[in-house]
């Protein structure tokens, strides 16, 4: 998608229909980008205010006792794995919570050691390259935390590859929200993206498969558990009326994108010999438009990043991981 912005073509003598169409489309794209930029900023601000508004002191830290239930456990992944916005937060811009699903799994398993390398904004490339912000390193390569004697690895990655910014799927949702005003009864978001998101997921799937194989090569005895994304959006878009500014058709489209994301993440896990854990089923009916949310909306009402699991959502994801481990 081009970032170019031009003055809209006006109807003048000698101007062709194609000239006029091109200018109008360019103006439309520019307006969408400006609208999306404003919405993205508002969303990130809402996330920051949510973290600041809800005191972390009210939430006791999930203890991670040293033990011998498993060997060394390493948690990797993006904001869904980090528990972005869920108290208590640490690791700066990584928005890492001590109530994310990794911490809760570790508390149940009592591993000999636990390392949390999760970080908000992580794309698949974060497995092997550092995450940076304004030229400063936010989080080193996540793969560095894995050693030959690691026995358990959990990971959630791929969602941020959907967007051009570090907020991934949220980036797409805010773009769709901006587009909804251009055609309130149609599917402007689906029309705008076409097959772009599918192509991004195909690329992310190949990268993730390669990254998972590198994990296994580095820790050949480790059980690798790839945790899917939860039920962010409902099956029935009507439940989002007044809660999420996107058309009904585009909400169906966005739901299909999340379904495709999980399908391709599961495919990557299978290709690399890892275990895939579904979290859509366990969180069904508690999406961002539900009256009993485990996944927060664009404007969170419980401490969590927009369109991300709150503390209950992280706990349910942890329970799904533990079931996959026979616990």
Contact (CB, 8 A) for 101 and 227 = yes
Q: Do 24 and 9 meet the contact criterion of CB atoms below 8 Å apart? A: yes
DSSP annotation of 233 reads S
Question: Three-state SS string across 16-65, please?
Answer: CHHHHHHHHHHHHHHHHHHHHHHHHHHHHHHHHHHHHHCCHHHCCCCCCC
Is 207:141 a contact under the CB 8 Å cutoff?
A: no
The catalytic position among 47, 79, 177, 288 is 79
Which of 117, 122, 51, 116 lies closest to 89 in space, CA to CA?
A: 51
Of 112, 64, 121, 68, the closest CA to residue 91 belongs to: 121
Q: Residue 277's closest CA among 261, 264, 266, 263?
A: 266
How far is residue 9 CA from its own chain's centroid? 38
Distance (Å, whole) CA 124 – CA 73 = 20
CA angle 86/89/90 to nearest 5° reads: 150
Instruction: Kindly report the pTM of this predicted structure.
Output: 0.82
Catalytic residue among 37, 57, 308, 324: 308
Residues 268, 278: Cα–Cα separation, whole Å: 14
Closest alpha carbon to 190 in 204, 208, 172, 203 = 172
- Let me know if 23 is exposed, middle or buried by CB neighbors in 10 A (0-12, 13-18, 19+): middle
**Residue 69 confidence (pLDDT):** 59
8 Å CB contact between 29 and 1 = yes
Based on the residue annotation, tell me whether 256 is a catalytic residue of this protein.
Answer: no
Active site residue 151: no
**Per-residue confidence in pLDDT tens, the chain, 327 aa:** 333 333 333 333 333 334 333 343 343 444 444 444 433 344 443 444 444 444 443 444 555 554 445 799 999 999 999 999 999 999 999 999 999 999 999 999 999 999 999 999 999 999 999 999 989 999 999 999 999 999 999 999 999 999 988 778 888 998 999 999 999 999 999 999 999 999 999 999 999 999 999 999 999 999 999 999 999 999 999 999 999 999 999 999 999 999 999 999 999 999 999 999 999 999 999 999 999 999 999 999 999 999 999 999 999 999 999 999 999
CA neighbor of 256 nearest in space, from 147, 136, 157, 176? 176
**Of 323, 305, 324, nearest to 118 (Cα)?**
305
- Distance of alpha carbon 261 from alpha carbon 257, whole angstroms: 6
């Amino acid at each position: 998608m081009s970032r170019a912005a031009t003055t809209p073509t006006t109807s003048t003598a000698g101007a062709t229909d194609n000239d006029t169409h091109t200018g109008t489309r360019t103006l439309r794209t520019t307006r969408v980008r400006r609208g999306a930029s404003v919405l993205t900023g508002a969303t990130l601000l809402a996330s920051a205010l949510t973290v600041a508004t809800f005191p972390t002191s009210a939430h006791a830290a999930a203890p991670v006792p040293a033990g011998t239930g498993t060997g060394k456990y390493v948690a990797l992944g993006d904001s869904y794995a980090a528990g972005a916005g869920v108290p208590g937060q640490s690791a700066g811009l990584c928005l890492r919570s001590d109530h994310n699903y990794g911490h809760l799994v570790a508390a149940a398993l009592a591993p000999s050691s636990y390392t949390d390398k999760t970080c908000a904004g992580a794309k698949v490339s974060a497995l092997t390259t550092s995450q940076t912000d304004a030229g400063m390193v936010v989080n080193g390569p996540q793969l560095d935390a894995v050693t030959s004697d690691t026995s358990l690895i959990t990971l959630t990655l791929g969602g941020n590859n959907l967007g051009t910014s570090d907020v991934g799927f949220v980036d797409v949702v805010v773009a769709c929200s901006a587009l909804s005003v251009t055609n309130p009864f149609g599917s402007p978001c689906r029309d705008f993206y076409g097959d772009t998101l599918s192509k991004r997921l195909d690329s992310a799937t190949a990268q993730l498969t390669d990254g998972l194989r590198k994990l296994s090569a580095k820790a050949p005895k480790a059980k690798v558990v790839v945790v899917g994304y939860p039920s962010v959006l409902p099956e029935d878009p009507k439940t989002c009326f007044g809660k999420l500014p996107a058309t009904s058709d585009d909400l169906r489209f966005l739901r299909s994108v999340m379904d495709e994301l999980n399908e391709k993440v599961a495919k990557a896990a299978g290709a690399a010999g890892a275990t895939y854990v579904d979290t859509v089923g366990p969180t069904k009916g508690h999406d961002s438009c539900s009256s009993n949310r485990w996944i927060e909306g664009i404007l969170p009402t419980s401490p969590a990043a927009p369109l991300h699991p709150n503390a209950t959502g992280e706990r349910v994801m942890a329970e799904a991981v533990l079931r996959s481990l026979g616990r």
